[in-house]
Amino acid sequence: MFALSLRCVAAISAWLILSSSAVWGDSLLQETKDVETDQHLTAEKLAEWVIKANPGLASSQAAAEAAAHRINPAGSLDDPRLSYGIAPLTSGSDTGLDQKIDISQKIPWPGTLAARESVARHEAVAADRDVDALKLRVIAQAKSAYAEWRFVDEALDIHYATHDLLNDLIATAETRYAVGKALKQDVLQAEVERTNLDNHKLRLIQLQTTVQARINALLNREPDTPLPKAAPIKLLTVLPPLENLRELALAQHPDLARLDAKILAANSQITLAEKAFFPDFQVGIGYNSLWNDTDKRFLIGASINIPLNRGKRKSELSRARAEERRVKLSLIERRANLLADLAQARAKVLEAHESVELYDEKLVPLAKEYLEAAVADYQSGTGAFLNVINAEQRELNTLLALARTRADYVRRLAELERWTGGSLNAPLQAHLGVQQ
């Protein structure tokens, strides 16, 4: 009967786990379908999905929860100890069975429990900040994956447009060749270029499959799960000043907050090591019926341990102090690296932004104009077909470079947000408010 009950409990537990997984899976799938309806997947939406579904983040959150549950036990007294004994040969005697009962409680030196609880509390805070840091990294990964997904979409659109252009050029070359106004090599050059373009499409499809699998891995889904098309990339009109971002990063970045908590935990660990030089107490009360005199049967007592091995305790104290120095130096190093990463990320965002504008305003229009001129010259009989092919390749490469630069901009902006410690919306609004 008991085994049957255990099987029932196991079955119910499994059903609950599968049901909760199915509910989450259906919820995420429905969200995906909702976005697919509009054919838009934004970086923010993908980051939101990843935060909900990523197993690594859930694992880190579980570790933080476990650390929080260590606080109460760390600050609690040990359980009381109960001992009981009898004198079996006194059974059946006139005075009855003689017995001995003792209850005792161990009490650490004052401040020891508070120090233990403080260590556990600050370690729990550090674990929470670990979750926040991992969340920043996962969000940056999600936005970077969105950028690559958008690049693939743009690159395929460029490919199809270029493919249509080549078909038109081939038709033109064949018509001119048929009437004796062009060479056979013009048609062959166009065919070679179209074949190269088909090969380029194969590489894009491979990249699309790879990015799709990477995004689905972040979402804890099957690699070939369909994804909606990526929304167009929008560039920020302005970035907050570096000084504002520095202040924000120093105030809110979880890496620094985690090390601050580690320092406080190390301080409490030093206090705990200092308390080890003092004895612990043990108090108790008992009853012993072996004594004939009833006044002697009730006992109250106390005991202490004698901390004779001071060398061991000195070593533990030195270890705690060395650990505190290590964490403090780690904080100094992390702060310096964070500010360096922040400055570098902001510079890369600015460079990518200017590069996008350069492509949009100059390079792409020039490439299109160059292609139009080459086609016009060829159709009028004053230009070589090779010039048309070169112009087509230049336009293709320029458009692909623009798409790649836009994707780089999103990736670099995501890294900037990661080193800042969060979204740039608040500092950007504050900066714009000051300017106005």
Higher-scoring residue by pLDDT: 404, 170: 404
Binning pLDDT at 50, 70 and 90, where does residue 169 land?
confident
The pLDDT tens digits of the residues spanning 125-140 come to 999 999 999 999 999 9
Structure tokens at 233: 């990339």
| Distance from C-alpha of 48 to C-alpha of 33, rounded to nearest angstrom | 15
Binning pLDDT at 50, 70 and 90, where does residue 429 land?
low
| Distance from C-alpha of 49 to C-alpha of 227, rounded to nearest angstrom | 12
Residue 248 amino acid letter: L
Residue 18's pLDDT is what?
A: 40
Binning pLDDT at 50, 70 and 90, where does residue 8 land?
very low
Question: 171 pLDDT exceeds 90?
Answer: no
Binning pLDDT at 50, 70 and 90, where does residue 430 land?
low
Write down the H helix ranges in 276-309. Answer: none
How would you class 341 by CB atoms within 10 Å of its CB: exposed for 0-12, middle for 13-18, buried for 19 or more? middle
Binning pLDDT at 50, 70 and 90, where does residue 308 land?
confident
The pLDDT tens digits of the residues spanning 59-108 come to 999 999 999 999 999 999 999 999 999 888 877 777 778 899 999 999 99
Residue 7 amino acid letter: R
The overall average pLDDT reported for the chain is: 87
Question: 31 pLDDT exceeds 80?
Answer: no
| Distance from C-alpha of 39 to C-alpha of 380, rounded to nearest angstrom | 42
The pLDDT tens digits of the residues spanning 362-376 come to 999 999 999 999 989
| Distance from C-alpha of 385 to C-alpha of 377, rounded to nearest angstrom | 9
Which domains are assigned to the chain?
Answer: 40-69+110-120+131-277+310-435 (1.20.1600.10)
